Amino acid sequence: MMLDVSPREASALLVFLAALLTAWTANANGFVWDDRSAVLSNADAQSSGLLDVFRHDFWGTHIRSTHSHKSYRPLTVISFRLNFLLAGEHSAWFYHFTNALVHALCSVLVWKVADELFQQHERRLGEEKATENPQDASPTAASGRVEAAMEGEGGNLVGSVTAGLLFAVHPIHCDAVASIVGRADLLCTSLCLLAFMAYARGAGRGGTKWGAVALALVLTVAAGLCKELGFTNFALLVVYDLLRIHNYHSVNGGMKSMKRRIAVVVGVGILAALVRVWINGEHRHMEWNILANNVVVQESRLTRTLSYAHLHAWYLWKLVWPRWLSFDYGYADPVRHRRRRC
Protein backbone atom coordinates (compact mmCIF):
# COMPACT_ATOMS: atom_id res chain seq x y z
CA MET A 1 0.00 0.00 0.00
CA MET A 2 1.37 3.39 -1.02
CA LEU A 3 1.94 5.92 1.71
CA ASP A 4 -0.07 9.10 1.33
CA VAL A 5 2.68 11.71 1.73
CA SER A 6 2.12 15.34 0.83
CA PRO A 7 4.78 17.31 -1.10
CA ARG A 8 5.49 19.33 2.02
CA GLU A 9 6.03 16.24 4.18
CA ALA A 10 8.22 14.67 1.52
CA SER A 11 10.29 17.85 1.35
CA ALA A 12 10.89 17.87 5.10
CA LEU A 13 11.93 14.21 4.99
CA LEU A 14 14.30 14.89 2.09
CA VAL A 15 16.02 17.70 3.99
CA PHE A 16 16.25 15.59 7.17
CA LEU A 17 17.82 12.62 5.38
CA ALA A 18 20.24 14.81 3.43
CA ALA A 19 21.49 16.40 6.65
CA LEU A 20 21.71 13.08 8.48
CA LEU A 21 23.61 11.36 5.68
CA THR A 22 25.99 14.29 5.29
CA ALA A 23 26.88 14.17 8.99
CA TRP A 24 26.88 10.39 9.29
CA THR A 25 30.61 9.85 8.66
CA ALA A 26 31.44 11.86 11.81
CA ASN A 27 29.93 9.07 13.91
CA ALA A 28 33.15 7.08 13.54
CA ASN A 29 35.20 9.83 15.20
CA GLY A 30 36.38 9.79 18.79
CA PHE A 31 37.00 12.52 21.34
CA VAL A 32 39.50 15.06 20.01
CA TRP A 33 40.85 18.45 21.03
CA ASP A 34 38.25 20.42 23.01
CA ASP A 35 36.00 17.35 23.29
CA ARG A 36 38.37 15.94 25.87
CA SER A 37 38.25 19.04 28.06
CA ALA A 38 34.51 19.64 27.74
CA VAL A 39 33.36 16.03 28.09
CA LEU A 40 36.00 13.60 29.37
CA SER A 41 37.71 15.94 31.85
CA ASN A 42 34.59 17.82 32.89
CA ALA A 43 32.81 16.39 35.93
CA ASP A 44 29.74 18.51 35.14
CA ALA A 45 29.28 16.54 31.92
CA GLN A 46 29.25 13.26 33.82
CA SER A 47 28.33 12.82 37.46
CA SER A 48 28.71 16.00 39.50
CA GLY A 49 25.75 17.64 41.21
CA LEU A 50 23.24 19.04 38.75
CA LEU A 51 23.35 22.48 40.36
CA ASP A 52 27.08 22.62 39.68
CA VAL A 53 26.25 22.81 35.98
CA PHE A 54 24.71 26.23 36.63
CA ARG A 55 27.63 27.40 38.79
CA HIS A 56 30.40 26.46 36.39
CA ASP A 57 31.42 27.50 32.89
CA PHE A 58 31.42 25.23 29.85
CA TRP A 59 34.72 23.64 30.89
CA GLY A 60 33.86 22.92 34.53
CA THR A 61 35.54 25.92 36.18
CA HIS A 62 33.52 28.08 38.56
CA ILE A 63 32.03 30.85 36.43
CA ARG A 64 33.12 33.55 38.90
CA SER A 65 36.71 32.39 39.07
CA THR A 66 39.45 34.56 37.58
CA HIS A 67 40.50 31.48 35.60
CA SER A 68 37.06 30.94 34.08
CA HIS A 69 36.62 31.03 30.32
CA LYS A 70 33.30 32.84 30.98
CA SER A 71 31.51 30.64 28.46
CA TYR A 72 28.26 29.83 30.28
CA ARG A 73 26.40 27.03 28.47
CA PRO A 74 24.60 24.92 31.08
CA LEU A 75 21.98 23.49 28.71
CA THR A 76 24.68 22.17 26.39
CA VAL A 77 26.48 20.57 29.33
CA ILE A 78 23.21 18.96 30.41
CA SER A 79 22.92 17.40 26.94
CA PHE A 80 26.39 15.89 27.48
CA ARG A 81 25.20 14.49 30.81
CA LEU A 82 22.27 12.82 29.07
CA ASN A 83 24.66 11.23 26.57
CA PHE A 84 26.81 10.01 29.46
CA LEU A 85 23.84 8.55 31.35
CA LEU A 86 22.50 6.77 28.28
CA ALA A 87 25.72 5.48 26.74
CA GLY A 88 28.61 6.00 29.15
CA GLU A 89 31.81 8.00 29.00
CA HIS A 90 33.62 6.15 26.24
CA SER A 91 30.81 5.89 23.70
CA ALA A 92 31.92 8.71 21.41
CA TRP A 93 29.64 7.31 18.71
CA PHE A 94 26.52 8.26 20.64
CA TYR A 95 27.75 11.81 21.23
CA HIS A 96 28.45 12.24 17.51
CA PHE A 97 25.15 10.63 16.55
CA THR A 98 23.33 13.12 18.77
CA ASN A 99 25.11 15.95 16.96
CA ALA A 100 24.03 14.51 13.61
CA LEU A 101 20.40 14.30 14.77
CA VAL A 102 20.39 17.89 16.03
CA HIS A 103 21.95 19.06 12.76
CA ALA A 104 19.19 17.27 10.85
CA LEU A 105 16.62 18.96 13.10
CA CYS A 106 18.21 22.37 12.42
CA SER A 107 18.06 21.73 8.68
CA VAL A 108 14.36 20.87 8.84
CA LEU A 109 13.74 24.00 10.91
CA VAL A 110 15.55 26.11 8.29
CA TRP A 111 13.26 24.55 5.68
CA LYS A 112 10.23 25.30 7.85
CA VAL A 113 11.22 28.91 8.50
CA ALA A 114 11.85 29.47 4.79
CA ASP A 115 8.50 27.85 3.98
CA GLU A 116 6.69 30.14 6.43
CA LEU A 117 8.38 33.23 5.00
CA PHE A 118 7.59 32.25 1.43
CA GLN A 119 3.95 31.66 2.36
CA GLN A 120 3.80 35.06 4.05
CA HIS A 121 5.16 36.63 0.89
CA GLU A 122 2.65 34.83 -1.31
CA ARG A 123 -0.25 35.85 0.93
CA ARG A 124 0.86 39.48 0.72
CA LEU A 125 1.09 39.28 -3.06
CA GLY A 126 -2.37 37.72 -3.13
CA GLU A 127 -3.79 40.55 -1.02
CA GLU A 128 -2.22 43.15 -3.29
CA LYS A 129 -3.62 41.38 -6.33
CA ALA A 130 -7.06 41.23 -4.71
CA THR A 131 -6.91 44.99 -4.14
CA GLU A 132 -6.14 45.57 -7.81
CA ASN A 133 -8.71 42.98 -9.01
CA PRO A 134 -11.75 42.83 -6.70
CA GLN A 135 -12.97 39.58 -8.27
CA ASP A 136 -9.91 37.85 -6.78
CA ALA A 137 -11.04 38.86 -3.31
CA SER A 138 -13.98 36.44 -3.39
CA PRO A 139 -14.01 33.71 -0.72
CA THR A 140 -13.61 31.03 -3.41
CA ALA A 141 -10.50 32.64 -4.87
CA ALA A 142 -8.99 33.28 -1.45
CA SER A 143 -9.68 29.70 -0.39
CA GLY A 144 -8.00 28.45 -3.55
CA ARG A 145 -4.86 30.44 -2.84
CA VAL A 146 -4.67 29.15 0.73
CA GLU A 147 -5.23 25.56 -0.38
CA ALA A 148 -2.54 25.87 -3.04
CA ALA A 149 -0.09 27.19 -0.49
CA MET A 150 -0.85 24.37 1.93
CA GLU A 151 -0.42 21.74 -0.78
CA GLY A 152 2.97 23.14 -1.74
CA GLU A 153 2.01 24.42 -5.18
CA GLY A 154 3.96 27.26 -6.70
CA GLY A 155 7.52 28.34 -6.19
CA ASN A 156 7.49 28.64 -2.40
CA LEU A 157 8.12 24.93 -1.76
CA VAL A 158 11.02 24.83 -4.21
CA GLY A 159 12.61 27.81 -2.50
CA SER A 160 12.20 26.40 1.01
CA VAL A 161 13.57 23.00 0.01
CA THR A 162 16.56 24.68 -1.62
CA ALA A 163 17.23 26.66 1.57
CA GLY A 164 16.94 23.54 3.72
CA LEU A 165 19.20 21.44 1.50
CA LEU A 166 21.84 24.17 1.26
CA PHE A 167 21.94 24.38 5.03
CA ALA A 168 21.99 20.59 5.37
CA VAL A 169 24.97 19.92 3.10
CA HIS A 170 27.00 23.13 3.39
CA PRO A 171 30.60 22.24 4.37
CA ILE A 172 30.82 25.20 6.76
CA HIS A 173 28.80 23.20 9.29
CA CYS A 174 31.30 20.34 9.48
CA ASP A 175 33.05 21.78 12.54
CA ALA A 176 29.85 22.21 14.53
CA VAL A 177 28.67 18.71 13.61
CA ALA A 178 31.93 16.72 13.62
CA SER A 179 33.26 18.07 16.94
CA ILE A 180 31.26 17.16 20.01
CA VAL A 181 31.71 20.62 21.54
CA GLY A 182 29.98 21.96 18.43
CA ARG A 183 26.78 20.78 20.12
CA ALA A 184 26.57 24.27 21.59
CA ASP A 185 26.17 25.78 18.11
CA LEU A 186 23.66 23.14 17.05
CA LEU A 187 21.41 23.50 20.08
CA CYS A 188 21.64 27.29 19.94
CA THR A 189 20.64 27.30 16.27
CA SER A 190 17.70 24.96 16.74
CA LEU A 191 16.29 27.00 19.63
CA CYS A 192 16.77 30.30 17.77
CA LEU A 193 14.86 28.92 14.79
CA LEU A 194 12.06 27.64 17.03
CA ALA A 195 11.94 31.03 18.76
CA PHE A 196 11.68 32.80 15.41
CA MET A 197 8.83 30.56 14.31
CA ALA A 198 6.96 31.16 17.56
CA TYR A 199 7.45 34.91 17.27
CA ALA A 200 6.28 34.92 13.65
CA ARG A 201 3.07 33.20 14.77
CA GLY A 202 2.63 35.65 17.62
CA ALA A 203 3.28 38.76 15.54
CA GLY A 204 0.44 38.33 13.08
CA ARG A 205 -1.59 41.11 11.52
CA GLY A 206 -4.59 40.15 13.61
CA GLY A 207 -2.86 41.31 16.77
CA THR A 208 -0.25 40.02 19.17
CA LYS A 209 -0.56 36.50 20.50
CA TRP A 210 1.32 37.01 23.72
CA GLY A 211 1.56 33.32 24.50
CA ALA A 212 3.54 32.72 21.31
CA VAL A 213 5.69 35.81 21.94
CA ALA A 214 6.43 34.64 25.49
CA LEU A 215 7.43 31.23 24.14
CA ALA A 216 9.77 32.93 21.66
CA LEU A 217 11.43 34.89 24.46
CA VAL A 218 11.87 31.78 26.63
CA LEU A 219 13.37 29.86 23.70
CA THR A 220 15.75 32.75 22.97
CA VAL A 221 17.00 32.74 26.56
CA ALA A 222 17.42 28.96 26.32
CA ALA A 223 19.41 29.42 23.10
CA GLY A 224 21.70 31.85 24.93
CA LEU A 225 22.23 29.23 27.64
CA CYS A 226 23.40 26.81 24.97
CA LYS A 227 25.81 29.33 23.46
CA GLU A 228 26.16 33.05 24.11
CA LEU A 229 25.41 33.95 20.51
CA GLY A 230 21.81 32.90 21.09
CA PHE A 231 21.06 36.15 22.91
CA THR A 232 21.45 38.02 19.61
CA ASN A 233 18.15 36.42 18.60
CA PHE A 234 16.39 39.19 20.54
CA ALA A 235 17.68 41.62 17.91
CA LEU A 236 16.57 39.30 15.11
CA LEU A 237 13.00 39.31 16.43
CA VAL A 238 12.96 43.12 16.44
CA VAL A 239 14.37 43.25 12.91
CA TYR A 240 11.68 40.82 11.75
CA ASP A 241 8.95 43.14 13.04
CA LEU A 242 10.58 46.21 11.51
CA LEU A 243 10.91 44.55 8.10
CA ARG A 244 7.17 43.83 8.14
CA ILE A 245 6.19 47.33 9.21
CA HIS A 246 4.30 47.87 5.95
CA ASN A 247 1.89 45.10 7.00
CA TYR A 248 0.88 46.93 10.16
CA HIS A 249 0.08 50.31 8.61
CA SER A 250 -3.00 48.85 6.91
CA VAL A 251 -4.34 47.24 10.09
CA ASN A 252 -6.21 49.16 12.77
CA GLY A 253 -3.99 49.24 15.85
CA GLY A 254 -1.27 47.31 14.06
CA MET A 255 1.50 49.84 14.70
CA LYS A 256 0.65 50.13 18.39
CA SER A 257 0.70 46.35 18.74
CA MET A 258 4.08 46.16 17.00
CA LYS A 259 5.58 48.85 19.26
CA ARG A 260 4.41 46.99 22.36
CA ARG A 261 5.96 43.76 21.13
CA ILE A 262 9.27 45.43 20.35
CA ALA A 263 9.29 47.15 23.75
CA VAL A 264 8.77 43.80 25.48
CA VAL A 265 11.45 42.06 23.40
CA VAL A 266 13.98 44.84 24.01
CA GLY A 267 13.15 44.93 27.72
CA VAL A 268 13.52 41.18 28.17
CA GLY A 269 16.70 41.23 26.08
CA ILE A 270 18.29 43.92 28.25
CA LEU A 271 17.26 42.07 31.41
CA ALA A 272 18.72 38.81 30.08
CA ALA A 273 21.98 40.56 29.20
CA LEU A 274 22.27 42.11 32.67
CA VAL A 275 21.61 38.78 34.40
CA ARG A 276 24.11 37.04 32.14
CA VAL A 277 26.82 39.60 32.99
CA TRP A 278 25.95 39.34 36.69
CA ILE A 279 26.48 35.58 36.58
CA ASN A 280 30.13 36.15 35.65
CA GLY A 281 30.72 37.85 38.98
CA GLU A 282 33.29 40.52 39.72
CA HIS A 283 35.60 39.34 36.94
CA ARG A 284 33.24 39.83 34.03
CA HIS A 285 35.63 39.16 31.17
CA MET A 286 38.19 36.51 30.48
CA GLU A 287 41.78 37.73 30.55
CA TRP A 288 43.06 36.51 27.19
CA ASN A 289 46.71 35.74 26.57
CA ILE A 290 48.52 36.09 23.27
CA LEU A 291 48.44 32.35 22.56
CA ALA A 292 44.67 32.10 23.02
CA ASN A 293 43.74 35.32 21.20
CA ASN A 294 46.48 37.51 19.80
CA VAL A 295 44.05 40.05 18.36
CA VAL A 296 42.34 41.18 21.56
CA VAL A 297 45.71 41.81 23.26
CA GLN A 298 46.83 44.28 20.58
CA GLU A 299 47.29 47.77 22.02
CA SER A 300 46.09 49.62 18.92
CA ARG A 301 42.31 49.96 18.60
CA LEU A 302 42.75 50.33 14.83
CA THR A 303 44.67 47.05 14.66
CA ARG A 304 41.97 45.24 16.62
CA THR A 305 39.18 46.75 14.53
CA LEU A 306 40.81 45.94 11.19
CA SER A 307 41.73 42.45 12.34
CA TYR A 308 38.18 41.64 13.44
CA ALA A 309 36.80 43.13 10.22
CA HIS A 310 39.19 40.96 8.22
CA LEU A 311 38.24 37.83 10.17
CA HIS A 312 34.50 38.37 9.73
CA ALA A 313 34.97 39.05 6.02
CA TRP A 314 36.95 35.81 5.83
CA TYR A 315 34.15 33.93 7.58
CA LEU A 316 31.59 35.45 5.22
CA TRP A 317 33.67 34.37 2.23
CA LYS A 318 33.67 30.80 3.56
CA LEU A 319 29.90 30.73 3.14
CA VAL A 320 30.42 31.32 -0.57
CA TRP A 321 33.60 29.29 -1.08
CA PRO A 322 34.24 26.98 1.90
CA ARG A 323 37.61 25.68 0.77
CA TRP A 324 39.96 26.42 3.64
CA LEU A 325 38.30 25.00 6.73
CA SER A 326 39.84 24.45 10.15
CA PHE A 327 38.76 23.00 13.47
CA ASP A 328 40.18 26.08 15.21
CA TYR A 329 40.54 29.59 13.83
CA GLY A 330 42.58 30.83 16.76
CA TYR A 331 46.02 32.38 16.50
CA ALA A 332 44.66 34.84 13.97
CA ASP A 333 47.32 37.01 12.35
CA PRO A 334 46.63 40.69 13.14
CA VAL A 335 46.25 43.00 10.17
CA ARG A 336 49.18 45.06 11.47
CA HIS A 337 51.56 42.15 10.96
CA ARG A 338 50.19 41.46 7.52
CA ARG A 339 50.70 45.08 6.53
CA ARG A 340 54.33 45.02 7.68
CA ARG A 341 55.12 42.06 5.48
CA CYS A 342 53.63 43.69 2.40
**223: helix, coil or strand?**
helix
- Predicted pLDDT at 293: 67
Rounded distance between C-alpha atoms, residue 109 and residue 221, angstroms: 18
Residue type for 141, please?
A: A
- Predicted pLDDT at 146: 46
- Predicted pLDDT at 260: 92
- Predicted pLDDT at 127: 64
- Cβ contacts of 141 within 8 Å, gap of 6 or more: 130, 135
For the chain, domain boundaries = 301-341
- Cβ contacts of 297 within 8 Å, gap of 6 or more: 288, 289, 290
- Predicted pLDDT at 3: 64
- Predicted pLDDT at 131: 63
**204: helix, coil or strand?**
strand
Strands (E), 24-63: none
Collect the ranges in the chain with pLDDT lower than 70.
1-3, 89, 125-155, 247-253, 283-297, 329-342
- Cβ contacts of 325 within 8 Å, gap of 6 or more: 171, 172, 174, 175, 318
Q: Which residues pair with 62 in a beta bridge?
A: 56
Query: At how many degrees (to 10) do helices 92-132 and 183-202 cross?
Result: 30
Which of 224, 105, 249 is closest to 168 using CA atoms?
A: 105
- Predicted pLDDT at 4: 73
